[in-house]
Structure 1
Amino acid sequence: MATTTENVGDLQAQIDEIEAVSSIYGDEWCVIDEASRIFCIKISDNTELPKWTICLQVILPHDYPSEAPPLYQLNATWLRGSERTELSNSLEEIYVQNTGESILYLWIESIREFLLEKSQSTDS
């Protein structure tokens, strides 16, 4: 397969995004398989005493971000039904609103916001 300019641009955008996300989130961010572009991050509602945590696993397709969204999986034993649907819809909405852009940071912060809201609603 010939490498197109767009694929090179996508790869560079991915490299830049991974570097930025890695420096922002530090040890929370992990590389599962760099060659296959598989990464994960553990996201919690609170860094000190987390009550709610989700592991977001992403696979970056070769045509992300120009053409395709990241493939993702949300891992949390408690995340089911309408909450899972609500969060998935939120991530897909972010992609649609930012098509062609790097969105991992937006996804991570959206999940963190979701967890904070859940934490606050269970506190009251």
Structure 2
Amino acid sequence: MAFAGRWETETQEGYDAFCKLLGIPDDIIEKGRDYKLITEITQDGDNFTWTQLYPANAKVTNKFTIGKECDMETIGGKKFKATVNMEGGKLCANFPNYHHTSEISSGKLVETSTAGSVVLKRTSKKI
């Protein structure tokens, strides 16, 4: 249940390089660079609802159960199938172009997205 709650971005490392690698247009990168992304997570045992609130009232909600394949969607609207696993207290999933992990560390939500040698690390505080 450690993931449950409402989280707000505090810091991001590697944001520009990661977004460019995914082909996100420069104007969208600019708009999102300093945006305080809100992540809302509900957890009931192995069942999660994970919602991210973006600028201009855009939001993406993914529901998943640990260890079971599910339908997911990216902010760009790309739909894909993924299985989220729990590995050493970290939620791990393969997205179409990158590997994503989420963990709670020192009371913060730490999300790491890795595409080749490019890494985006987002740290969020509970609000």
- Larger relative strand fraction: 2
Q: Note whether the superposition's TM-score is higher than 0.5.
A: no
TM-score (norm 2): 0.34
CA radius of gyration, larger in = 1
TM-score (norm 1): 0.35
- Larger relative helix fraction: 1
